[in-house]
Structures are given as C-alpha cells and as structure tokens.
Amino acid sequence: MSGKKIVGLREKRVTRIVWVVSTAVVAACVGWGVLAQVMVPDACTVDPPPANAQYLHCD
C-alpha cells in the first residue's frame, strides 16, 4: 500500500467516527429532551402545587 492510500483510509475512518459520535450526541440530547417532557409532570396537576407555581394560571 502506498502512503497516500493509507492516509486516505485513515481520513475516511476518522470522518466516519466523527459522524457516529456526533449522531450519538445529538440522539442523546433529543432523547433527554423528550424524556424531560414526558417524565416531568405538569405543575398544574401536582397537588399541592409547587411553591414557585404562584405565577401559573391553571384552569
């Protein structure tokens, strides 16, 4: 193998790793955001309401 071909393969491998890690980080952030929306209850449904809920207008 020539030196130029080895460098090209290394660059492809690094590019692939960067894409995989970036995709994993974005997926983790999206998953965390979705879980935060699903798992945290609405403040108006909590009995008694939290102390800092005086500004909520729950109907």
* 30 found inside a domain: yes
Q: For the chain, what is the mean pLDDT? A: 83
Q: Which of 42, 40, 44 is nearest to 54 (CA)?
A: 44
CA-based radius of gyration for the chain: 24
Q: Is the pLDDT of residue 26 over 80?
A: yes
* 23 found inside a domain: yes
Give the number of domains in the chain. 1
* 48 found inside a domain: yes
Q: What is the pTM of this model?
A: 0.59
* 59 found inside a domain: no
* 22 found inside a domain: yes
Helix (H, G, I), strand (E, B) or coil at 43: helix
Domain of 25, in residue numbers = 3-53
* 58 found inside a domain: no
Cα 22–27–33 angle (5° rounding)? 130
Mean pLDDT of 19-43: 93
- Cα gap 9→13, rounded to integer Å: 6
pLDDT in tens, 2-24: 556 666 778 889 999 999 999 99
For residue 1, name the pLDDT band (cuts at 50, 70, 90).
low
For residue 41, name the pLDDT band (cuts at 50, 70, 90).
confident
Whether the ω angle into residue 41 lies within 30 degrees of 0, i.e. cis, is no
